[in-house]
Amino acid sequence: MSDRIPILRIGDILVVSVQFDLEDQTVLNLQEDLADQIVAKSAQGVIIDISALEIVDSFVGRMLATVAAISRVLDARTVVVGMRPAVAITLVELGLSLGGVSTALDLEKGLAKLSRSTSTGPR
Amino acid sequence: MVKRDNAVDLVGLLSVEGQDLAASWVGEVTGSLGGRVGAAELNRELRELYEALVEALRKGATDVHSEHMSEVRAHLTELSRNRARQGFSPSETAVSVFALKRVLEPVLEKGTADEIRAYLRLARILDSLGLFTIETYTQTRDELITAQAEQLLELSTPVVRLWDGVIAVPLVGTLDSARTQVVMEKLLQALVDTGSEQAIIDITGVPAVDTQVAQHLLKTIVAARLMGAECTVSGISPQIAQTIVALGIEFDGIVTKASLADALKLALRRSGVDLVAHTGAQR
């Protein structure tokens, strides 16, 4: 049984905070849980905080893009926040530019970005 | 036993005239360096070296790498390091050692067969000492060059804060992969440290843009975007604009501005700052 990452709800926004380096199975679980939660809570936005993540591989990079695509299908916007410089450089070197994913410097700016795009915003 | 005799011969050769020999050595070297090293300093350096050399030979040293020569090597290292820093050429450095041979030359005319043999042996040792100075000299030069290159890398990539949430990197000089890497890391770290959402890369000081430089710029901008910041490239001169088009480089999805002022205006607008001119302000 591998670890599951908690998904928190603030208003109609789901917050996922990744606190440790990800294994492939954890990533797949997260993808599944997130899809379930978006539907269950009818969320408008998803924030993935990866400020604690120090190492990424192409699998995690693709996960971010996949999660964003899944949320878009379920009509929720995804913002990836708190990416470290080293992680950003690694992803660029891997050729993953995450075209469809919105990004923000930290959680606060990510929330602001979401509330600007959705009319309701967090309550 | 034979070795012991050799040592005595060599020491004898250097000690015949005692202090006078060291003095004439200093005289020779002073002439060759053209007064660019202080007389007192040169005198001290060479006398220390001379004494260390006599001591090493007395202990039976025959080779520059032998144990007894360690003090000689230390003196030589210091001497060639100083010369390298002061900007002397390698030959000017080595001549300090070779001059001792010239000082001893009278032995060849007046000396006995044993003395001449001793001179030749000493000449061989001095040759290797001279080569040692050149090696140390180049090593010091290499270290200097490496240190300077690093300094240049540090100096040439400042990240400046233009406004709350707006930072800029004025790039000066040619961009290669090593520099781009430093620029990228510094810029991204500055984004985190200052919490800026707008970054401006100013390439006014970049003399030429080719496909590789463009590639490097694109990488930096994509990395900044991944972290949640928007990048603007400014300072594109008319010539560079023509080159970019001629090379078919695509700056897809990247905002480019002709001047830093334009880029700053855009960055301020994006971060929600309005610039209002005072009515009636006179300048």
Rounded mean pLDDT of chain A? 85
Residue A58 has pLDDT above 80, yes or no: yes
How far CA B129 is from CA of A36, B79, B126, B221, B238, in Å, comes to: 79, 12, 5, 55, 58
pTM for the full predicted model: 0.63
A81 has a chain B CB within 8 A of its CB:
yes
Q: CATH classification of B2-151 is 1.10.490, yes or no?
A: yes
With respect to residue A14, please indicate whether it lies within any of the assigned structural domains. yes
Contact residues, chain A, for B192 at CB < 8 Å: 84-85, 105
With respect to residue A47, please indicate whether it lies within any of the assigned structural domains. yes
With respect to residue A19, please indicate whether it lies within any of the assigned structural domains. yes
Contact residues, chain A, for B222 at CB < 8 Å: 92, 97
Query: What are B43's two structure tokens?
Result: 């005198």
The beta-carbon neighbor of B226 closest among A98, A106, A110 is: A98
Angle between helices B39-58 and B19-33 (to 10 degrees): 130
Instruction: Name the band, by pLDDT with cuts 50, 70 and 90, for residue A121.
Output: very low
Q: What is the ipTM of this complex?
A: 0.78
Contact residues, chain B, for A89 at CB < 8 Å: 184-185, 188, 223
The candidate with the shortest Cα–Cα distance to B110, out of B16, B209, B243, is B16
pLDDT digits (tens, 9 = 90+) for A6-42: 899 888 899 999 888 788 888 888 889 999 999 998 8
With respect to residue A51, please indicate whether it lies within any of the assigned structural domains. yes
pLDDT digits (tens, 9 = 90+) for B183-216: 888 899 999 999 899 999 998 888 877 788 888 8
How close does chain B come to A118, measured CA to CA in Å? 18
What CATH number should be reported for the domain holding residue A68? Answer: 3.30.750.24
Residue A123 has pLDDT above 50, yes or no: no
Specify the CATH number of the domain B160-270.
Answer: 3.30.750.24
How far CA A95 is from CA of A57, A61, B120, B174, in Å, comes to: 11, 10, 67, 25
How close does chain B come to A29, measured CA to CA in Å? 24
Delimit the domains of chain B by residue range.
Answer: 2-151, 160-270
Contact residues, chain B, for A105 at CB < 8 Å: 191-192, 195-197, 227-229
With respect to residue A1, please indicate whether it lies within any of the assigned structural domains. no
**DSSP 3-state percent helix, strand, coil across chain B (nearest 5):** 65, 10, 25
Residue B8 pLDDT: 66
The beta-carbon neighbor of A92 closest among B191, B192, B223 is: B223
B273 has a chain A CB within 8 A of its CB:
no
Q: Which of A64, A89, A93, A98 would best serve as a mutation to test chain B binding (most B beta carbons within 10 A)?
A: A89
Residue B19 pLDDT: 54
Provide the domain limits for residue A43.
7-113
With respect to residue A75, please indicate whether it lies within any of the assigned structural domains. yes
How close does chain B come to A1, measured CA to CA in Å? 32
Average pLDDT for A67-71: 88
pLDDT tens per residue, chain B (283 residues)? Answer: 344 456 666 777 777 655 577 777 888 888 777 777 777 888 888 888 888 888 888 887 777 777 788 888 888 888 888 888 888 888 888 888 888 888 888 777 877 788 788 888 888 888 888 888 888 888 888 998 898 888 877 766 788 899 888 999 998 887 777 788 888 888 999 999 998 999 999 988 888 777 888 888 888 888 999 998 999 999 988 888 888 888 887 777 788 888 999 999 999 998 888 888 887 665 5
Q: Nearest residue of B to residue A103 by CA position?
A: B228
The candidate with the shortest Cα–Cα distance to B15, out of B60, B41, B53, is B53
d(CA B61, CA B67): 8
Residue B281 pLDDT: 62
How close does chain A come to B202, measured CA to CA in Å? 20
What's the total number of domains in chain A? 1
Residue B7 pLDDT: 64
With respect to residue A121, please indicate whether it lies within any of the assigned structural domains. no
B270 has a chain A CB within 8 A of its CB:
no
d(CA B163, CA B267): 9
Contact residues, chain A, for B225 at CB < 8 Å: 97, 103
Residue B200 pLDDT: 94
A73 has a chain B CB within 8 A of its CB:
no
With respect to residue A23, please indicate whether it lies within any of the assigned structural domains. yes
